[in-house]
Structures are given as C-alpha cells and as structure tokens.
Amino acid sequence: MLVCSECRKLGKSYKEDLPSKRTYVPQSASPSIRTMNPPVRRKAAQLPREINELDLTDDLAEKVRKHRRSLGISQEELARRVKEKLSVIQKIETGKMTPDTRLCRELEHELKVKLLVPHEEDETPNSSAPADVTLGDIIQLKDKTKASGSISS
C-alpha cells in the first residue's frame, strides 16, 4: 500500500511470509545439499485387463429401458441412483449415446442386468492357399503364368 510520509509514521510495514517452494536436487548433488525427498512418480493408470475384453450388448438401449420399467423406477430416479444427468439416461435409452464403462457398471448394478459381455473375436477367413506357400512362391507362380500366357498368344 502506498501512503504519504506522515501516514507512514502511524503504522509499521508488514511483510507476508509466503510458503517456500520445495525444490528437487538431483542425486548427483552432494548429500549435504540434498535434504528433500525426490518427487514421487506414479505409474500411469492402467485399465484392468477385463475392460479391453468386454463389449457392450447390441440391444443396450432396449435392455436399459425394459429393466428400468420392470423395476418401476423413473428415468429421474435412475439418473439419481447412478449419479448422472437425466439427459444422459434419456440419450442412452434412445440409443443416441453409448455409456462409458463406469456408467455401464453402475447401470448393471442398479438394473440387475448384464450390459457388458465378453469380447468375441471374429475368426479370420481361411485362405485357399496352402499354409506352406511363401510370398516368393506366389511371385514365381505369377511369373510362370505371364510367361505361359505370352507364349500361347
């Protein structure tokens, strides 16, 4: 605060003590300088393995609506129970939105229905080529067919 010289005499100066910032000193520094602990580094949050192996059911919107009605609760009540907005529940029931894994778990718990199912991998179609054919064999086969095609012309 700025004051005139006469007003300055009436009070005393005030200096606020700010909390000091902790600094990290590398371990290469001498032990006498290094008094603080290094910052804790946490691993990046890893998703549980089962989340990658689960998919949403195809008829999610239908199941949510049907089971909510069978329990006799309103959309507002379901939204309150799963700690979401009413508009989110409405969008899920109309199929305009797909819920995240956390919300799916909450809905499964409240509605007592299975919404997350194990991931089904599509089988790769079997090729007509034998398993022991290599890329070099295919190239040679094409060269032979071109050669035989040009001879017969």
**Which secondary structure element, helix H or strand E, spans residue 109, and what is its range?**
helix 101-111
Q: How many domains does the chain have?
A: 1
In a domain, 129, yes or no: no
pLDDT digits (tens, 9 = 90+) for 96-118: 998 988 999 999 999 999 988 88
Does a structural domain hold residue 70?
yes
Of the ranges 19-33, 51-65, 119-133, 137-151, which is most confident? 51-65
67: left (phi over 0), alpha (psi -120 to 50) or beta: alpha
148 is a domain residue: no
Q: Provide the 10 A C-beta neighbour count for residue 17.
A: 5
Residue 24 maps to a domain = no
Render pLDDT for 12-67 as a digit per residue (tens, 0 to 9).
Answer: 776 766 666 665 555 655 555 555 555 656 555 554 555 567 788 888 899 999 99
Alpha-carbon span 115 to 35, nearest angstrom? 53
Domain with residue 72: its CATH number is 1.10.260.40
Instruction: Assess if residue 131 is contained within a domain.
Output: no
Q: Per-residue confidence at 119, pLDDT binned at 50, 70, 90?
A: confident
How many residues does this entry show for the chain?
153
Domain that holds residue 86: 51-118
What does pTM read for this prediction?
0.47
